[in-house]
Amino acid sequence: MEPLLAEPLVEAPEQGEPRVDPKKYLARFGYLAPADSDPTDRLARVRDIGLPVSDLSTTKLDEQAVTALKTFQQFYNLKPTGTLTDETRRLMLSPRCGMPDRPKLFDPQTGLIANFVVQGNRWGRTNLTYAFQNFTGDLGTADIINAIRQAFLAWSNFCFLTFTEVSGAGDIRIQFTAGDHGDGAPFDGPGGVLAHGFYPPPNGGDLAGDLHFDDAEIWSLTVPTPAARFDLWTVALHEVGHTLGLDHSNNAGAVMYAFYSGLRRNLQPDDTSGIASIYGGRSAKATLSDTAIGQPAWAALNQRGFLAWTGTNAAHNLNVMQTAELRVWVDKVTLGETSLSGPSLTVFNGRLYLAWRGVGNNKLNVMSSGDGRTWTNKVTLGDTTFNSPALCSANGKLFLAWTGTDNSRKLNIMQSGNGTNWGGKLTLGDTSVDGPSLCSLGNRVLLAWAGTNAAHNLNVMSYDGGSSFSNKVTLGESSFLTPNLTTVNGTVILAWTGTDSANKLNTLRSTNGVNFSLKATLNETSFFAPNVGSFNGRSLLLWTGKDNARSLNVMTI
């Protein structure tokens, strides 16, 4: 069957304004369907719910076409005359999304339709990836990327989904193309159909979830002037709704309304209710697409959060990616460095510092970055550990702590004034079953660890940055793994993996680093130590899940 868009929906005028072919239009957008419609067509599930008609060769409206036209008119709140009124014609000539409507969900007798329309498919997981296949020349690459990121963020702000931007192939592939581009739904040149987003699997085969923009349009990111320009952000917001499983709404104020009517960059209640009905409302927890061994690391710099982890690939490369709001994750870099433990991450003198245990020699390593993408100034120290090292900054110094490879597993700490030259090493009498953790509280540094005693009790101690340690506290809690510390708005949060059979995650809080209370035992579990961090005044818990993939998780607590 020849694609329906192979023939024009809008004809060149003999005089005056262009004419619309109502039967071709109604067939293209789901109100009429050819009797020989191929059920394997990628849009068939939507298109074929229209009324069947075998003859599209004439624009004369037969009884079936009149019924279909009335349904179209009622769907879009027009007077259902069954004739091509000026109002109907103007709407049909308006730029719109290329995905068909779903008139089957509309009752023309009662005029009733759901506030939102769910297509029926949904992604089987909540951590999705997206990738750019190419770009349009109408806008700068950075502007295009940001507009698409904002579209994904808008939807994830109202549901359980998170999105990670990747290179190469992703669950949702984004491209700018024109004319017949091989997906069974050719674009029709300037105006008319602007873009289409394919529904989640199983519809669409390998095109499921993909998002295509008509490159024959002139794309903009400002108030569209001249009228031939269309706002990419607005159209992307609509099409992402389709890639997640929403269909067209007949609510003219909704983002999922099929027709373009200028800038629309915020979801409306109709849209947010629809997406929540598929995936549930937004949760404090986000499960990411990336996977890890060991504990993840976290730091915040310049209003962005940075997540670092050791990958599950054969070499166990270190990775870093960033976010501005914990829902959309971008700028992932996979470093050449490798480790068999989780890394540590902190901010010092306006730069990110990453510390890790090297593969093979178990030596401590530190390097830094100003943006989380380019990492330099690597220093390999002579000291070794079998566990994750710890980093923090306080009083103009950078501190590094680790569990030694000596038989007693003594704790060690040293410092640097520039992140490159390290000295002042102290070896403590205390010993740990795993790596330690560090955080600052006022002008002090707090050190936490799981002891080597039979119960593996958690311990916290204060360090003045010189040679004095004080206020050691041995808690009644125990763990076989590193307990982790952070300070949020003057409150110290201590997190650890319990020794219970489920390995549940736990937290305690303190305002002075000595007295800990308000224990919370979460339903989240991990085979590894968790991490705690802060972002924009919020407390975060980060961990590697116990699922088969070892997915990374982030949750506000």
By annotation, the residues acting in catalysis are 239
Element (H, E) at 541: strand 538-544
Task: Round to whole Å and give the CA distance between 67 and 172.
Answer: 36
Task: Round to whole Å and give the CA distance between 539 and 190.
Answer: 48
Task: Round to whole Å and give the CA distance between 431 and 405.
Answer: 11
For residue 185 the two structure tokens come to 């739904």
CB-CB contact of 437 with 448 (8 Å): yes
CB-CB contact of 30 with 46 (8 Å): yes
- Pairing, β 517-525 against β 504-510: antiparallel
Closest Cα to residue 428, out of 486, 480, 470, 479?
Answer: 470
Task: Round to whole Å and give the CA distance between 72 and 31.
Answer: 7
For residue 323 the two structure tokens come to 């976010």
In the chain, the amino acid numbered 392 is: C
Tell me how far apart the terminal alpha carbons of the chain are, to the nearest angstrom: 55
Closest Cα to residue 287, out of 169, 172, 161?
Answer: 161
Alpha carbon separation from 426 to 383, 402, 471 (Å, rounded):
12, 11, 17
**Running DSSP on this structure, what letter comes out for residue 105?**
G
CB-CB contact of 164 with 129 (8 Å): yes
Q: What is the CA radius of gyration of the chain?
A: 29
State the Cα angle at 405 between 404 and 408, rounded to 5°: 80
Element (H, E) at 212: strand 211-214
Task: Round to whole Å and give the CA distance between 184 and 161.
Answer: 29
Task: Round to whole Å and give the CA distance between 369 and 322.
Answer: 13
